[in-house]
Structure 1
Amino acid sequence: MGERGSARRLGQWLRSAALAAMSPRARAYVITVDALYLAVVAAGLATIDLHLRDGIVFVVLIALAIVSIETSLRFVWHRPPGGGSSNDLLAVWTLPVALLLPPVYSAVVVVPLMVYVQLRVVRRAPVKLFFSIASTGIAGYLASSVHQAFFPPNTVWTAATLAGSSRALLATASCVVVRYVVNWVLVDEVVALTKPGHRRLALLRDRENLGVSAAEACMGILVALAYATSLVAVPLALPPVLVFQRTLLIAELRHAARTDPKTGLANATYWREVAEREVARARSGGEALAILLVDVDHFKAINDRFGHLIGDEVLRAVARGLTHGLRPRDFVGRFGGEEFVILLTGSDAEQARHAAERIRGHIAGLRVETPLHRESVGVTISVGVAAFRENGHSVLELLDAADSALYAAKRAG
Structure 2
Amino acid sequence: MSLPPTTVPPADEAPPRRERGRDDACPGALRLHSADDGSLARVRTPGGLLTVRQAQALARVSEELGDGGLDLTSRGNLQLRGLAATCGGELAAGLRDAGLLPSERYDRVRNIVASPLSGLDGAGYGDVTAWTRELDAALCGGAWEELSGLSGRFLFAMDDGRGDVAALSADVTLIATGDGGAVLRVGSGADGVALEVRARDVPRAAALAAVEFLARASGTRAWRVRDLPAQHAVTVDGLAARLADEGVEAARIGHERPSDAPGTPPAPGVVSGPDGRCAVSVLVPLGRVRAAQWRLLAALASRGGSGELRVTPWRGVVLPGFTADSAAAAAREVTDAGLVTEPDSPWAGVGACTGRPGCAKSLADVRAHATRAVAGTPRSPGAPPVYFSGCERRCGHPGGHWVDALATSATDYRLTVRDTREPDGVTGGGVMDVAAEQLADAVAAARGTA
| Fold conserved between structures, TM > 0.5 | no
Bigger relative contact order, structure 1 or 2, given CA contacts below 8 A and separation 6+?
2
What is the TM-score normalised by the length of structure 1? 0.24
What is the TM-score normalised by the length of structure 2? 0.23
Tell me which structure has the larger Cα radius of gyration: 1
